[in-house]
Amino acid sequence: MKTLTVSQIINADFRISESSPVLRPWGLSLVVADPSVLTPEISHDGKWHMFFHTTFGVYHSVSNDGIAFAKAEKIADRAMRPNINLIDGKYYLFYERTRPLIANALNLVNAVRWKSEIYVIESSDLKNWTEPKPVITNTREYEKSNRGMSISNPYLVQENGINRLYYSCGLTYIKDCGFCEPTHISYAESEKLTDGYVSAEKPIISPDRNNPYLNLCSGCLKVYRLSDGYIGIQNGIYEKDGKSHSAIILLTSSDGLNFEFAKMLVEPAVVDGKNWMKQFVYASHLVRHGNILRLYFNARDTANPILGRECIGFAEAEI
């Protein structure tokens, strides 16, 4: 990705794949969400590997083409919103770790109703993983809200000996969905990969009532270092015509900290007669495979908390 220019990404024409969605919910979970992907170019076995979460934890699935994925295996409980990285021959999976469901559900006397933080597990083969280790814990007031404390959506960028983990935090209740989405986006930095992170004194992105794609809350942000700058891919949560929505937008930056809107990438729509992304398109992961850019993301058909389903699909662009 680092050999590409910002203008190449801006000019890329992303189109939803006819194969989408590639993963749908199964069993008792209503969601498959927050894909993080390894391409054959960097995986140890030359295959596609997708990490994602359901209601019951983070799962891993393998594919020969990035479209048809094998039966997924759970690799972490109390886990959401994974970010997989291959660094010096070892895999590092950062993710949001929650308390047990019963603790969150029955926590009536504690002022914190929800609590989640960033943890990491390590592997050399994507099969055997270390015990979870805390990476970013609550140190800033903006990570809290009257609904609890949330640190989520980790995304690692390494540069000049510094490890920077972007993350979402805070909780904003989305009334028509019946659940919360992240309020702010911030970051933490460390010279070490799995500890020593210090969070920024204030968020870098917060809700903006005047921004049509960010007037409710911030969603999540994935940042990529290119040859001549940075891009950010964000899914803000917004209200339009009395309903909540989410869209994936492209941002640009000269320093990876201050971002400006560049263009819309993926909006909610009915595509090829399919309703799977009708009202929301959420967290994404941009990867390169040869001369193809592939943007994996999860989407939701309707806000209704009982009837709504979240699936994973992708859009592609040639470069």
Amino acid at 260: E
Which pLDDT score, from 0 to 100, does residue 113 have? 78
What does the domain layout of the chain look like in residue ranges?
A: 6-318
Tens place of pLDDT per residue across the chain (319 aa): 889 999 999 999 999 999 999 999 999 999 999 999 999 999 999 999 999 999 999 999 999 999 999 999 999 999 999 999 999 999 999 999 998 766 655 544 454 578 999 999 999 999 999 999 999 999 999 999 999 999 999 999 999 999 999 999 999 999 999 999 999 999 999 999 999 999 999 999 999 999 999 999 999 999 999 999 999 999 999 999 999 999 999 999 999 999 999 999 999 999 999 999 999 999 999 999 999 999 999 999 999 999 999 999 999 999 9
Tokens linked to 39: 């391409």
Tokens linked to 224: 């990529």
Q: Which of 251, 256, 254 is nearest to 158 (CA)?
A: 256
CATH code matching the domain that covers 6-318, chosen among 1.10.8.60, 3.90.226.10, 2.115.10.20, 3.30.450.20: 2.115.10.20
Please state the separation of Cα 13 from the chain's center in Å.
Answer: 22
Tokens linked to 80: 């959401």
Q: Are 180 and 204 in contact (CB under 8 A)?
A: no
Which pLDDT score, from 0 to 100, does residue 99 have? 83
Which pLDDT score, from 0 to 100, does residue 1 have? 84
Tokens linked to 99: 């308390």
Q: Which of 22, 20, 46, 8 is nearest to 289 (CA)?
A: 46
SS (HEC) of 27-60: CCCCECEEEEEECCCCCCCCCEEEEEEECCEEEE
| Order of strands across the sheet that contains 73-76 | 33-38, 48-54, 57-63, 73-76
For residue 86, what are the contacts with CB-CB under 8 A and spacing of at least 6? Answer: 38, 42, 43, 44, 92
In degrees, to the nearest 5, what angle opens at C-alpha 266 toward C-alphas 292 and 33? Answer: 85
